[in-house]
Structure 1
Amino acid sequence: MPRHVTIPAPEGFPLFGWTEEKVKEYIIEKPLDVGEVMTILSTHGGITHYRLARVEAVNVGKQRRVVLSRAGSSGGTAFHRSGKNCFMPTGQSRMLPPLAELPELNLEQDVILDALYGVPGRPRAPGKE
């Protein structure tokens, strides 16, 4: 079971510039392969939590979904190529490429940011601007 570390929120969190279009471009241009690592961002309960997961399958079904080895705090392990979770596309779990901004993040250690959404002076959750 991975452990976690809490760190101060780096500039650019939570998405670090990754839009749905950029995530889809990354997946198509790379292209992804089984065994590669992707990041799962969860913003459930106002807590920003990142975890790494291995790609278990690519181009699944008509929508060419990506299946990861782990799920976020909501939804399942299948993600659209845009990064949205297939089971909760408007939910609080997203798939992102590996993040250079979080060097502490690895397969054995998740990262929780010391930043809450909804607190005055703090950023709001993605899509809630």
Structure 2
Amino acid sequence: MYPDPTSHEDNGGGGALREHAPAHYYGDIVRRLFVASGILILIGMPFFADYLPYMASVSAIAAILIAITAGTANPRSRGVQILLLAVSALGVLFFESYAAYSYRYFSLSGRGILFFLLMQVLAVLFFFALYFSTKTIRWMVRKKGE
């Protein structure tokens, strides 16, 4: 039987496989939100390539960078938490701007409404990631000041 990777028990090799994160660390939630966003980008990209003629490559690169950023999340690095915050803010800005653009200039029937809804869902996922990233940084700043 394999040891529980979240336990503090010795795994026979000298320490826990994974330490528990601090109580006010929300990076794991941000990571999940980023991964979900990246998956939605990759799934949606082929269906809406005609809506994004020059953006297909950019979307693929963005999904890769989101996955890499999600993989760097850890409770010990303030710099990584600031990166998560910045990527979250850029995600909200980009996807909500594109949702507003699509609402104004694309037909909201058929696939147009699906594209608009996808942009909105991505903006909301990044909004939650922004919120939880901010909470983590706020905790890190308070902890440092004590």
Which one has a larger percent strand, Structure 1 or Structure 2? 1
Work out which of the two has the higher radius of gyration on C-alpha atoms and give 1 or 2.
2
TM-score, with structure 1 as normaliser: 0.24
Report the TM-score, using the length of structure 2 for normalisation.
0.22
